[in-house]
Amino acid sequence: MLSFSCKLLKIPSNRNLIVNLCKYSTIKETKIQVKNQTINYVKEGNGPHKILCCPGALGTIWSDFKPQIEKLDKNQFTIIAWDPPGYGFSRPPNRVFNKEFYRNDADMAFEFMKTLGEDNYSILGWSDGGISAMILAAKYPQVLRKLVTWGSNAYIIEWEYQQYEKIRDVSKWSERMRAPLVKLYGNDGLQKMWGSWCDAVGELYKNGGDICKADLVKIKCPTFILHGDKDPLVAPEHPEFLTKNIKNSRLYKFPDGKHNIHLKYSDEFNDLVTKFLLE
């Protein structure tokens, strides 16, 4: 669920990778107004197959999708990546979390693409972004060509809730892991936003844990589910549950992958996704 989870859990093998990924590209960012909300985004490539990239919690264009924006084939694809409402440079206003925030993001993603004039596209959704992407695919099936999701879940179990609580206090994060988010949000802003996220998902858990289970059977487009078997925040039961409940879906696992498989194994990930999207 968390776009920066590998950082927060201090996974040493990913540290240099993460620092490099948080360096911004020279690709131009653009802002647009969508229903009184400022949305910051990039649009790269001239390919006929349009792709929307949806970041995870607190995530942004460059923290979450740099290898995909820069390396996916620009002749085959047009890559659109956004800072979700209230994240990164899609502010003001700052993000407000409540029990409907996943659904609100799904609706806003739909409206964002509609404002850009896009009505037929695929989605790459990571973590929180994958959850909202599944909701969008269920609610607006007419616009989705294909769906790719990883590090995502349709419900929350106790083990996951406990993992979130362990990293609630941002002062306990390592400086290396906290710095990119502090640069965006400030110390107090980061703690407030992260605490609000923890509160919101905590309420979902305490009210049964269901996020979007009923939506899965409504997804009609071909769906590619990927998962890192060593994901420290998403229990291994979730990719199996998604595959079982999304009719036209397939599953691919990275045996040594954690939460950020698209960053750690970007070349393999991009190849797999490219083949799926072009089938």
Q: Do you find a cis peptide bond into 93, omega within 30 degrees of 0?
A: yes
b/e 208-225 (16+ beta carbons within 10 angstroms → b): ebebbeebbeebebbbbb
Q: Which of 231, 249, 262, 266 is catalytic?
A: 231
Residue 238: active-site member: no
CA within 13 Å, CB half, 266 = 15
Q: What angle do CA 271, 118, 149 make, to 5 degrees?
A: 40
Q: Which of 49, 238, 259, 262 is catalytic?
A: 259
| All residues at 6 or more sequence positions from 184 whose CB lies less than 8 Å from its CB, including other chains | 60, 88, 190
Residue 231: active-site member: yes
DSSP assigned state of 236: T
Q: Which of 63, 127, 132, 266 is catalytic?
A: 127
DSSP assigned state of 272: H
Structure tokens at 147: 């769906």
Q: How far is CA 196 from CA 94, 164, 168, 202, in A?
A: 11, 12, 10, 10
Active site residues: 127, 231, 259
